[in-house]
Amino acid sequence: MDHANDPASPSGDLPAHGRAAAAHKAASAALPPSDVSAGVGIAGLLGLAAWILFCRTFPLIEDGLGLPSDRGVLSGPNAALMAIVFAAAPMAIWSVLVDRVHLRASTGLDWSLKRPLAEVLSISITKIAGLWVTWAILAAFYAVCRWYWGGDYLFAMNVLSVAIVPMIVLSVPYTIWLDRFMVDPRDGTWHFGAMLIGREQFLPEPVKKHWRAWIIKGFFGAFMISILPGGFAYVVESDPAAILDNPVELGVLLINLLFMIDVMIGTVGYLFTLRPLDAHIRSGNPLLAGWLAALLCYPPFNWGILGNGSVLWYEENTAKWDYWMAGNEPMLWAWAAWLVVLTAIYAWATFIFGIRFSNLTYRGVITNGPYRYTRHPAYLSKNLYWWCIFMPFLVTSGSPVDALRNCFFLAVVNAIYFWRAKTEEAHLLAEDPKYRDYHAWMEENGLITAPLCRLKRRIARRFGGVAPAGAGSQRQQGGIRGDRAVAAEPAE
């Protein structure tokens, strides 16, 4: 029986568009489960906390063991690198032993295959050739771009220079081992290798996917490594006991701690894109607008645009929050707490990704943590943080023109992040039905997203447009072939 035309059916007397809306509402009634459990990020946080505690108490440990040394706390760059290991290892262990991610079909692995070595060797050789040439091209890019050989980036170049030899050696057994269990071992790396060798037919689209993934890893990975040491040293060398009664200094310390957590967990995401952990990059954003919006926010592309004295400089004659609240102790404590909360949301939006954080990528769908309330918690909290810490509407010059300019330029920066969010949604809506379900659910149920969507629909109706619930996601599902719901397209 066709219940759509049955008068007894609850929607039988509805017109076609009414039945479609009812069906859409029913489909969005349940929040899709997240591809990453909360336990992964918590495990990483505990591992990171254990290492920081060890580094801070190292002098006491030396004294207790009777070891003569004046080394002091372990706050150097090498200690910062070890923090990555202590964050990554618990997340990987949790993912395998608790979440059993290695058994998911999304890994593209079938552990029952165990192909003979002779069957996969030629495939693996082609892939290794593609991988090594990819690394050589990235190394050439680093060598040519002079900004990588000064400032903070120099540390990243030193790390990668040392890491390349073990990477080359370990890539051989790893690739061969993985190819024995891959459902389709002829992935993008294989197609690029086949293109280089010229012995087998390759497809252009997998080669493009291969390069999008490796450009993302190469560009953002070097940036993340470069900013590891500073924040780690600040946290390890701090003396919280000396500033407990100072709301400004305590707030700054907590904010730096949270940003350090964000950087550490985020760096793990770029470095450990491993298929057995279901953390591989399934696709990079194919939309040019997505790349433009993201790259505008990072060096070297943001130099001259978002930095001191740049085109979008919004701190002209500003003095930050503590200047304007000086002498008002309760307000200083309240505002410091608010800034810490915003930063905590930002860090939460990163570590909830666990081992899958990276920009411009699709690596699964995240629907828990702060993504339960808004699709873009990192962007929302970061942009609110800038308004609250810099207070561009208050200027020491007393000039309303300065204040107006500052507010305008910060609003433009906010618009860039809004643009970035929309390009990420477009990528993910085209990639995964689960994200489309999440997107629709958030329109109706998201604590922050749903009221904004209702307001958007009211404005559209007011000005003669029609924007039914879920229409945006349905249009994009059918009309875009192309990035993060938090689908592991993180916010930075």
Residue 471 clears pLDDT 50, i.e. is over it: no
**Structural domain contains residue 167:** no
- Whether the predicted pLDDT of 400 surpasses 50: yes
In sequence order, which residues have a C-beta less than 8 Å from that of residue 28 and are 6 or more positions away? 437, 440, 441, 443, 444, 445, 470
Q: What is the pLDDT of residues 292-336, one digit of tens each?
A: 999 999 999 998 888 777 899 999 999 999 999 999 999 999 999
Winning range, highest mean pLDDT, from 2-11, 62-71, 405-414 = 405-414
Does 291 reside within a domain? Answer: yes
pLDDT, residue 66, reads 85
Instruction: Report the pLDDT averaged over residues 129-155.
Output: 97
Q: At what angle do helices 288-295 and 400-431 cross, to 10 degrees?
A: 140
Window from 156-170, 406-420, 457-471 with minimum mean pLDDT: 457-471
Q: Is the pLDDT of residue 22 over 80?
A: no
Residue 75 counted as domain residue? no
What is d(CA 130, CA 124) in angstroms, rounded to the nearest whole number?
Answer: 10
Residue 4 binned pLDDT confidence (cut-offs 50, 70, 90) = very low
Per-residue pLDDT, averaged over 398-402, amounts to 96
Weakest-pLDDT range from 18-27, 57-66, 228-237, 370-379: 18-27
Please report whether residue 135 resides in a domain. no
Task: State the pLDDT at residue 467.
Answer: 53
pLDDT at residue 478, rounded to an integer: 31
- pLDDT > 50? residue 488: no
Residue 451 lies in a domain: yes
Radius of gyration from C-alpha coordinates of the chain: 25
**More reliable by pLDDT, 486 or 69:** 69
Give the H/E segment covering residue 361: strand 361-362
Q: Is the pLDDT score of 481 beyond 70?
A: no
Q: How confident is the model at residue 25 (pLDDT cuts 50, 70, 90)?
A: low
Domain tally for the chain? 1
Share of the chain above pLDDT 70, in %: 88
Q: Which domain holds residue 440?
A: 280-492
Q: Is the pLDDT of residue 17 over 50?
A: no
pLDDT at 477: 33
Q: How far is Cα 2 from Cα 68, in angstroms, rounded to an integer?
A: 84
**pLDDT surpassing 90 at residue 204:** yes
Distance CA 261, CA 256 (A): 9
Q: Give the C-alpha separation, 202 to 180, whole Å.
A: 21
Q: Is 366 inside any structural domain?
A: yes
Tokens standing for residue 197: 């060798």
